[in-house]
Each structure stands twice: as C-alpha cells, then as structure tokens.
Amino acid sequence: MRLAAIGQQHLESGSQRGKRPLVLALLVIALIITIIASINFRPPLPMSLAAIQKGGKITLITRNNAHCYYTYRNQAMGFEYDLAKAFATDLGLDLEVKVIEQWEEMVAALLNQKGNFIAANLAIEPHRQKEIAFSNGYLDVQPVMVTHRINRTIQMPFDLEGKTVHVRTGSSYLKHLLDLKQNGVALKLSLYDDIATEELIRQVAGRKVEVTIAYSNIALLNRRYYPQTMLAGPLDFPKKMGWAVDPRATRLLERINQFLAEIKKNGQFTEIYKRYYTGVEEFDYVNMKRFHRRIKTRLPNFLNHINKAATKYKFDWRLIAAQMYQESHFRPKAKSRRGAYGLMQLTKNTAKSLGVTNLFEPAANIFAGVRYLRRLYNIYDQATPTDRLFFALAAYNVGQGHILDARRLAEKKGLDPDRWASLEKTLPLLRYPKYYRKSIYGYCRGTEPIRYIKQIMGYYDILKRQAIDYGSDQPG
C-alpha cells in the first residue's frame, strides 16, 4: 500500500511538472496579446499643423445648440462656430463641423483624430485638463443658480440645503454640486442623462423644477427667452472658456492661442461676441414680458404684410418684426413727438418720397418702411452684410447725414469707416460741440442709434430662437 501511494504521488508530481511549462507559455502569450492590444488601441498621433494646412481643411468638434453651432435659414451660425470659422479663415482653410453631444464622446473623437479641436462652450477645469489640453481662456463665465423670479429663497450656495437641483450627468455643474455636498450642504440631485441646459431653464420658467445650474453666458441669454427666470447667485468662482486639443498637438495649440490673442486685440472677438450676446446684461423684465405677450397677441395681425414686404426686399421677416416693435410696439396708429407715424414710424417727408399717402394704413406703412430700409442698406455696399445692416438701421433711426458725419470722423481718427465697431466710437462724439461743430449735419444724439440697434437685435434674437433648428444643448 505504501509503495502504491508513493507511486501515485510520483505520477501526480510528474503531471504537475508537465503542466508548468504550459501554464507559463499561456501567461507569456496572454502578455504578448495584451501588449499588442495596447499598441493597437493607442490613440493615433494627431495631425501636425502643417499636415492640416496641406489637407486644406480643419475639423471642429462642437455641440448643436444656440451657443455653439446651429443652422438658421440654411446658414450655419453660433458663437463658437463663428470663432472657429474665423480661425479657419485665418489659416486659409475650410472649416468642417462634426457635431457630438456627450463630453466623453467629444474627447474620444478628438484623441482618435476624428476632429482637430473642440470648441463647445467648455470651461477650463482641472479634471478636464487630465485628458486634453486647453487654449488660453477667451471668455469669462461663472456657474450660477437659475430659479424662477418669484423664488427668493435661493441666493447663496448654502441656500440649496434641502433643495433638489436638476442637472445633466457628466457636466461640470454636477462636480460643483458634489463638492458642495462634501462641504456639508445636504442638497438633493435630480440627474438627467441627456437633456438640454436650455430645456431645464425652460422648466424652471414653467415652475416644473425649482433650480438648475448654468454658466452665466447661457443663463443671461436664456433669460431673454424666458424672462420669468433669474440668476439667483453664483455657485462657484468665475471660470474661463477655452478650446481643447489633443495634448500632443502642441503646434496647433500655439497657433490657436496666437489667433485668440490677435482677435482680442483687433476687435474681431468683440464683434463676434456682440452678434450673439449683445445687450444680454441689460434686462428689463417688464419690457421683455410685454414683448413676449405682444408677439402672440399683436404681431399675428401684421404677419402677412411683413412676410410679403420682407420677401420682396430680401430681409428676414423676423428682423422687420423686431424693428417694427422697436418703432411702434406693433401699434398701427402710433405717433411720436418727432413727427413719425404708424407701424414703421415714417416721417411725412420719407412717406412722400415713397409714395405713401395714408401713414396709418398697415400694409402701406410696412411696405414703405421696408423699402426705405433696403434703400439705406444698398448705400453701404462696401461693408460686410452685418455692418451694412447696422448702418442701415442707424440711418433709419437718426438719418443718413449723421451716419455720414460719423464715418468721416472715423476716418479722421484712423478707424475703418465701413465697420460698425468704428461708428460705435464716433457716433456718441457727435453730442459734443468739439465734434458736431465741425460736422456737416450738426448735433446728433449719437448714443440713441447704438441703443436702438441693441434693442432690435435682442428682439430679433428672441424671434429667431423660435425658429432655430438644433438638437440637444449640453454646454458646461
């Protein structure tokens, strides 16, 4: 029995010795496979700036929303898009747009070379810098709490104690809230996998949710669309927005920083910013509520005439409606102290030159006003379309002569007379004897046309907002 047991033990020991080389071999094979896999799945090297330029295009990764990129009347636009378009133009390249909504998917697309840079309303945050490299900051923002106007219980972060805050998962807003919870504020979180920040703000306006978080630029812009909302107070310290690149794309990052510095210096950044955010800091709740009400109650009475006139003279009807509201608040019998009449506030001389005899007849007044605006627009054909429009609106407001004086003054001061940014500097000077005594057309309330245009563009933005074709908004 003992010999049999020894023999059996010897056989088992030999069997184990025979298995060891096999196990070792399998481990080596597994290690090799792991190494190969890691090599195969390592993100490809980013294209060099020279290679991008040679290819003739640069690809933007962004989001489809009112702040980044959207289409209106078959035209691409958006604050981030316009900045990126200017960058591509500066490089002499075409701009290709790749829309991706989720943060994780944007980073993956960037690192896998599906795009060259991200411009998507992103705050420069330490946790994000672990994955990607950011440009220098180009816009200051701050995460703020957004509530309904009647809610006065939330003003500081610790006022969120016991409140339910609605935010999107994966957003930097969520990280700020989690930090707040760790610091002892017993707030509750209602998380959404895929929802627009703007949609949450809309729900706050409708009192379906009590509070959400948004960056200040988003909150200010949406307050225009939803005047029932208010910025209750800051959640955290101010942040800077930045563009993102693959950490290995150092030359591209240098070129982006150079571009951002240049447009900050030459005023191009300010011009682009004003296209989307002009006047958002100035907010008149009563006026905004009145406008939202009257585009439902009064505007429909004139829509047919507005559409026909805008189509005939090649303007967006929403622009004409915005100007009409600024002029008359959609009142066909409106009269001003300066002798202007009707929906488009025509003077008797202007009406006579346009063949209008009944200033209070809506169709005649609208067609004459739009025709006159087109006449003014055609004068400034050396300017860009946006500048031409602003020149025309300003001339409609204070007269073509004062615009001519302001343009001449701009030339004397070394400014480009075909840029509205120049006239924003020179028109206000025509209030002072030092300047208007040397002008042809004399004194001008030069700040008035600037405010006039800001008001119109604010109303226009609200009307456009109702027609914008975009999907999920997930800034932050």
Residues 268 and 147 in one domain: no
105 in a structural domain:
yes
pLDDT for the residue 278:
85
Residues 233 and 330 in one domain: no
Beta strands (DSSP E) in 121-175 are 133-134, 139-141, 143-148, 164-168
pLDDT digits (tens, 9 = 90+) for 236-255: 999 999 999 999 999 999 99
311-336: burial string, b at 16+ Cβ within 10 Å, e else:
eebebbbbbbbbbbbbbbebebebee
8 in a structural domain:
yes
- Supply the DSSP string of 21-86, one letter for each residue: HHHHHHHHHHHHHHHHHHHHTSPPPPPPHHHHHHHTEEEEEE--BTTTBEEETTEEE-HHHHHHHH
Query: Which CATH number is 66's domain given?
Result: 3.40.190.10
Residues 456 and 330 in one domain: yes
Using pLDDT thresholds of 50, 70 and 90, give the confidence band for residue 206: very high
Q: Which position has the higher pLDDT, 346 or 194?
A: 346
Average pLDDT over the chain, rounded to an integer: 89
Structural domains in the chain (count): 4
Residues 171 and 35 in one domain: no
pLDDT for the residue 30:
63
Q: Which position has the higher pLDDT, 8 or 246?
A: 246
Residues 356 and 409 in one domain: yes
364 in a structural domain:
yes
CA distance 391 to 413: 19
CA distance 123 to 229: 23
Using pLDDT thresholds of 50, 70 and 90, give the confidence band for residue 311: very high
CA distance 80 to 63: 9
User: Phi and psi (nearest 5°) for 58?
Assistant: -130, 140
302 in a structural domain:
yes
Residues 61 and 92 in one domain: yes
Which residues are identified as catalytic? 327
Residue 123 DSSP class:
B
474 in a structural domain:
no
Query: Which CATH number is 329's domain given?
Result: 1.10.530.10
Position 49 pLDDT exceeds 80 = yes
Residues 440 and 309 in one domain: yes
pLDDT for the residue 476:
45
392 in a structural domain:
yes
Residues 97 and 72 in one domain: yes
Using pLDDT thresholds of 50, 70 and 90, give the confidence band for residue 36: low
The residue from 177, 206, 237 where one domain ends is 237
Domain that holds residue 65: 49-139+242-277
Query: If you average pLDDT over residues 172-185, what whole number do you get?
Result: 92
Using pLDDT thresholds of 50, 70 and 90, give the confidence band for residue 169: confident
Specify the pTM: 0.82
Beta strands (DSSP E) in 198-238 are 211-215, 229-234
Query: If you average pLDDT over residues 286-299, what whole number do you get?
Result: 95
476 in a structural domain:
no
